[in-house]
Amino acid sequence: MKFSDMKYVRVDTLETGKQFEALTQRVKNAASADDVFAALDEQEKISSHFSTMANIAYVRHSINTEDEFYDKENEYYDENGPVLQEKVTDFMLALMASPYKKDVEEKHGSLMFKNLEMELKCFSPEIIPLLQKENKLVSDYQKLVASAQIDFNGEKLNISQLGVYKEDSDRSIRKQAFEAEGGFYMSHADELDGIFDDLVKVRTEIAKKLGFNTFTELAYLRRTRNCYTPEMVKAFRDQVKNDLVPVVAKIKKEQAESIGVDGLKLYDDTTFYLDGNPKPVGTPEDILEAGKKMYEEMSPEAKEFINFMYDNELLDVKAKKGKAVGGYCITFPEYKAPFIFSNFNGTAGDVEVLTHEAGHAFADYTVRNFEIEANKNPTMESCETHSMSMEFFAWPWLELFYKDYTKRAKLTHLKGALIFIPYGCIVDEFQHIVYDNPDLTPAQRHEAWAKLEKTYRPYIDMTGIPFYGDGRGWQRQLHIYHYPFYYIDYCLAQTAALTFRNIMMTDHKDAWERYMRFVKEGGKKTFVELCSVAGIKTPFEDGALKEIADSTEKWLNEQK
């Protein structure tokens, strides 16, 4: 079914709650494993319907944040989702306590129960008002950023539309674009500080009420970190500092020389060529057509997937007034259909949408027929491995998008992948500092961010750039507001994706087969186990970052 034809009806959460109560009693009174299986199947149908309606509302709200109807619907799910969660939790508790739990494990695997145990520690009825407040604050941030109408180059632009000017070949235009973006955020500085301060307070209060010392502990459970710890993440970040940052510093030195500047300012960070970075050739329609051809040729599975997406109009990719910033993939479970949301702006990011977000969508589509929703979706670092790896598997088809600039596109993409990891670690370590020290003032938070920038990105000079130079750059990273502690998932996934790329460069077929083994397991295995299934190192292993840094540096040197 086409997205425009998908019927939306608000879910009555009160009635849905009663349905869950009845299912909970069925599990408690079950006389056989079949009774439990039947209740679980019914629960899947109800949850699938709720998620489908809530996600349709969210997508239509994202497409036009000025649409009052879907704005209200989105608020409704923000308010009532946490209330319904209590009923879902009761059902899951009954399932955990059932004498037929082992039968469920034999049929659907044990990881779902391990994950469930973590999930149950994240909720109690008494925190419902606090969860509602957290949801509202996140929505307040989204609306604030989406409201941007920045006067630039004779136009009124939103944050996404400004992106193309931040990569302009003219350094003065790049600088002006960064200043214009920073000006918008600075004009809302107190509001941004206030929203985040309230988020830190409410998240800390939620954690305390659930019996944790800090929100950090709760966040690791929320993110279902079922195979690694904060200590392992710290060790990974240390590898990044020791093994990756020096290599990135060399790349950055060469970059400064190639674009003719003495030192890199923030507005030079993503500019690798004097005449500008490679951009896709053609209109948005041309890019979409090229994406279709790429997936049709990539593999039989990819061909089936892309035709499903295009035939059912499961993409909204053009930037426009009132549209939320960013990009994401979301799923409508009842239709077994993923959906891709983004904001094309004429940069390489447009191609990344058709590789990164489509990587998520491809993985969703691959496991669409799994019986249990919990078994479809792995934890997020695995999901990001799906998408970031797909960006590299697209390399043989990049000429469709970039024509004569294909080599440049590959170089820029690979350098960007390597350069990203230190930045991602800044985001992660910043959140550890903030939530382990929830009483920090806004000024102290800005100071902490600025210090981390000098540790992980010593090659960038941010002085003289309003907003960024003040240590406020973290406020444009929506994940910090929306999805606390998510960002390290990207770093772990990028490491895995670079490992797939190394294999791909010598044996593309072998790399794709390993990737498909990773994807086809869905959420039935942990991230560490999925790496094992694919036959690749985990990012936590000693030397994993050094191996990637050395091999990537070697390949880049061969291209000179």
517 is a domain residue: no
105 is a domain residue: yes
Backbone angles phi, psi at 66, to 5 degrees: -90, -5
Q: What span, in angstroms and rounded, lies between the C-alpha atoms of 157 and 316?
A: 19
42 is a domain residue: yes
**pLDDT of the residue at 109:** 93
**pLDDT of the residue at 386:** 98
**pLDDT of the residue at 345:** 82
323 is a domain residue: no
- The pTM of this model reads 0.88
**pLDDT of the residue at 161:** 86
**pLDDT of the residue at 326:** 81
pLDDT tens by residue, 353-384: 899 999 999 999 999 999 999 999 899 999 99
**pLDDT of the residue at 244:** 96
308 is a domain residue: no
Domain count, the chain: 1
Count of CB atoms within 10 A of residue 334's CB?
Answer: 17
Closest CA to 348 of 138, 77, 166: 166
Q: What span, in angstroms and rounded, lies between the C-alpha atoms of 305 and 362?
A: 6
Q: What span, in angstroms and rounded, lies between the C-alpha atoms of 88 and 46?
A: 10
496 is a domain residue: no
- Does position 85 have pLDDT exceeding 90, yes or no? no
pLDDT tens by residue, 384-442: 999 999 999 999 999 999 999 999 999 999 999 999 999 999 999 999 999 999 999 99
Backbone angles phi, psi at 337, to 5 degrees: -130, 125
Place of tokens 């606390």: 484
Instruction: Return mean pLDDT, the chain.
Output: 94
Mean pLDDT for 72-76 is 94
The DSSP bridge pattern shows strands 150-152 and 155-157 to be antiparallel
Mean pLDDT for 162-186 is 92
225 is a domain residue: no
pLDDT tens by residue, 25-46: 999 999 999 999 999 999 999 9
**pLDDT of the residue at 14:** 94
**pLDDT of the residue at 229:** 94
Backbone angles phi, psi at 323, to 5 degrees: -80, 140
Task: Give the domain extent around 103.
Answer: 3-123
pLDDT tens by residue, 474-522: 999 999 999 999 999 999 999 999 999 999 999 999 999 999 999 999 9
Mean pLDDT for 117-132 is 92
29 is a domain residue: yes
